[in-house]
Amino acid sequence: MDEPRSWLECDTRFIPAHYQPVSLIDLALERGVNAHRLLQGSGLFYEDILTGDKLISPQQFHALIANARQQLQADDTSFLIGHQWLPGHCGAASHALRHATNLLEALQRLIRLQPLLSPLMMPRLRLDERHVWLSWSDSFGSGSQAVFLIEASMTAVSSVSQWLSGQRLPWAFHLAHARPRYIEQYWVHLGERLRFDCPLNQMCLPREYLLTPWAEASATAGQVAEQEGWGMVRTLVAPRSLLDGLHDYLVKEIRTPLRLEQVAEAFAMSPATLKRKLKKHGSHFQEQLDRARSAVALELYLSRGYTTEEVADYLNFTDRANFRRSLRRWTGLLPSELSTWLGSQR
């Protein structure tokens, strides 16, 4: 029962409208979109945003993104927005990121201050012997805006790390969606190291770039700003989203038998409530469990070089055929296909 009792949900108003949403609004207005049409159905008014204390919910942000895409009808919106999102205009949190002394510190700060810096998408960092892996998951079930958010988030991290390091970092991108028709946008904004139809949305970089010192950072200013940012995170109604909390819990407990009832208990809610909350986010328990297992399986394959047998054992599968079927359901790939995919990896 060590899980916190409150969570950010898709209708929790915690995103300051003048942080990330405003860069999207500005871009749309600059490109001649009518302000009324842009904010239609989002429950937002332009005057509210100008006050500087308006908080919006992830749902409202999703609606805003949907409107902006609809009105702009351009393939590059997500990428242009991504270039602006980090370090962004989020006060101390942005300042902390701006003064990170190396990539590792920047990524750690991004994750620690995630509710402020990347409110809709959760980055998770993993290091293995040779690579840095940054995987992304959708914190609030964004539905049809998922690809947009992935494009924007990955562009944001690759753009800010390039800006701060003063160097083109050879990020490679694994994307869960199919290769889009507007591939040229990926080439220009992310680079040529792209893989589509992957089991997971993640980006990867050789480890040697992790600790290279960044020239223009001020270590003390960065630390102070991080403390201040962390103070801001703690004033939020909850430090993280329900889906992210659930995912981390499932990953941690993946070797134990996991049932809805007992997970709901750990989250201090009734099974019916958990079910209803997941439904509100467009998901259900089995899907969350599959995602967690898929993430664990991939980590074992990718970073620890496990064989299929070892992965199956780790996840308590006694029946090989059953494991093959399950892996197929989680990742869309059979073990043999997965190892081909892994083999062509680096």
Partner 1 sequence: MRLFQKLQTVPMLTSHRVKLAVLFVAANIGLMLHLLNGDIKPLSAWDWLDIAGEGGSALLLLVWIWLLLKSRPAGYVTNLLFLGLGCLFFSLFMDVVDEFVALPDEITWDGWLESGPMPAGFVLLTLGIFHWHKEQLAINEQMRNRERLFREHRQFDKLTPLGDAHYLRKQLELALGEAEQARLPVSVVMVDMDGFANINRDYGHKEGDRLLQVLTQQILLNLRQHDLLCRLAGDRFALILPHTGASQAQLLAEELQKSIQHLAYKSSRQGERLYLSATAVAAMAREEDAETLLYRLNIAMAKAKQTLEVRHG
Is the CB of 26 or the CB of 287 nearer to partner 1? 26
Is the CB of 81 or the CB of 110 nearer to partner 1? 81
338 CB-contact burial (10 Å; exposed 0-12 / middle 13-18 / buried 19+): buried
Task: For tokens 């062509």, name the residue.
Answer: 344
Least separation in angstroms between CB 175 and partner 1 = 17
What strands lie across the sheet with 172-174, from one edge to the other?
121-127, 131-138, 202-206, 172-174, 194-195
Q: Are 76 and 189 in contact (CB under 8 A)?
A: yes
Least separation in angstroms between CB 185 and partner 1 = 5
Is the CB of 75 or the CB of 128 nearer to partner 1? 75
Least separation in angstroms between CB 54 and partner 1 = 23
Is the CB of 192 or the CB of 310 nearer to partner 1? 192
Least separation in angstroms between CB 107 and partner 1 = 19
Is the CB of 5 or the CB of 181 nearer to partner 1? 181
Least separation in angstroms between CB 44 and partner 1 = 21
- From the list 286, 302, 289, 285, the residue with the least C-alpha distance to 345 is 302
The DSSP code for 209 is: G
Is the CB of 13 or the CB of 193 nearer to partner 1? 193
Least separation in angstroms between CB 192 and partner 1 = 5
For residue 328, the SS3 value is helix
Instruction: Give the whole-angstrom CA distance, residue 299 versus residue 312.
Output: 13
Least separation in angstroms between CB 209 and partner 1 = 13
The DSSP code for 315 is: T
Containing H/E element for 103? Answer: helix 103-112
Q: What are the residues whose beta carbons fall under 8 Å from the beta carbon of 211, sequence distance 6 or more?
A: 102, 103, 104
Is the CB of 325 or the CB of 346 nearer to partner 1? 346
Task: For tokens 């299929």, name the residue.
Answer: 308
Contact positions vs partner 1 (CB under 8 A): 26-27, 30-32, 74-76, 79-80, 83-84, 159, 162-163, 166-168, 182, 184-185, 187-189, 191-192
Radius of gyration of the chain (CA): 20
Task: For tokens 């995170």, name the residue.
Answer: 233
